[in-house]
Chains A and B, each alone.
Chain A
Amino acid sequence: MKKVVVNEAKCKGCGVCVNFCPKSALAMADRINSKGYHPAELANEAACISCGICGRVCPDAVIEVFKP
């Protein structure tokens, strides 16, 4: 399981999580979801420190964060 789990179908691709990620571990995916948005994804799992900031700033409550 990934440290950052994104509910891609609900993501509106606003990019707020990507902006506030302190380790630049998140990115917008190339694929497009059913709403027509590029969802956020954990692009660099090794860089992620499971701080939870992406989950807290997500306006659409689509991100859950886990720590190994």
Chain B
Amino acid sequence: MKQVYSVPKSLRPVSTHYCPGCTHGIIHKLVAETIDELGVRDRAIGVASVGCSVFSYDYFDCDFQQAAHGRAPAVATGIRRTVPDAVVFTYQGDGDLASIGTAEIVHAAMRSENITVVFVNNAIYGMTGGQMAPTTMVGQRTTTSPEGRIKGLAGEPIRVSEMLATIPGATYVARVSTTSPAHIAKAKRAIKKAFEVQLAGGGFSLVECLSTCPTNWGMSPVEAMEWVDKNMIPYYPLGEFRTPEGGQTNG
């Protein structure tokens, strides 16, 4: 029998701590497949964030460093400049990158650091128990917005990809989803392109992955995926916001 789909070799064969149906696992696989296909496992160095994805250092079978909350792009900058041959990527959630780590991500993009950022946006603080995040949708109920996020009080969710796309140093910026086989295929292409930009010395690349949090959203995994399609994609449009060629495919 010919093998049609196999588990990527850059993932360790361990059980993750993620909740059933959490799309972190899908994004882990896409990053690991990319590392496999580009043949860079020996020189890949990941930087883990704080949040649910903190244990990614136990799940990827490549070198990893844990950063302080939000500081993964700064740590990745240090690795980039001291280990020139390394393929450096960060794996950050929205509580990490879009809240406490906003300064680090903006300035890493400003400097066009030759790193790849995998940004997982699930519109909530997952690990700490489902509090409102900067990316939480208006009207979305969380433990700290029990009546739903109120626009006049907490503002509107931050669109990180659009914000970073205004920065000349951000070479590749794309937003993808992980909520259907077609979306997952497109997400894989975007993540691979981001790594290829880095391998070509092109500078800063970021892929924002719309993700689910079935546990804290109070939904089944499949319902959560449908919720992303219905509620998040209209506000967080998918596509490429900056490419090395200068084209855009969003909107």
Contacts and interface: CB of A to CB of B under 8 A. Distances in A.
B5 A61 contact: no
Contacts, number: 81
B3 interface: yes
A15 B25 contact: no
A47 to B, nearest CB: 16
Nearest to B181: A53
Given A15-B21, A37-B20, A56 B5 contact: yes
B181 A20 contact: yes
B11 interface: yes
B4 A52 contact: yes
Interface in A1-54: 1, 3, 10, 12-16, 19-20, 35, 37, 50-54
A66 B3 contact: yes
Given A16-B221, A16-B222, A60 B25 contact: yes
Contact of A56 (B1, B3, B21, B181): B181
Contacts of B221: 14-16, 59
Nearest to B23: A59
For this complex, into which size category does the number of interface residues on chain B fall?
20 to 34
Contacts of A13: 20
B44 interface: no
Contacts of B2: 66-68
B1 A59 contact: no
B29 to A, nearest CB: 6
A63 B222 contact: no
B15 A10 contact: yes
* Residue among A15, A20, A35, A57 facing the most chain B CB atoms (10 A cut-off): A57
B8 interface: yes
Interface of B: 1-8, 11, 15-16, 18-26, 28-29, 180-181, 184-185, 214, 220-222, 225
17 contacts: A10-B15, A12-B20, A14-B221, A15-B21, A15-B221, A19-B222, A51-B4, A53-B181, A55-B4, A56-B29, A56-B185, A59-B20, A60-B16, A61-B29, A66-B1, A66-B2, A67-B3
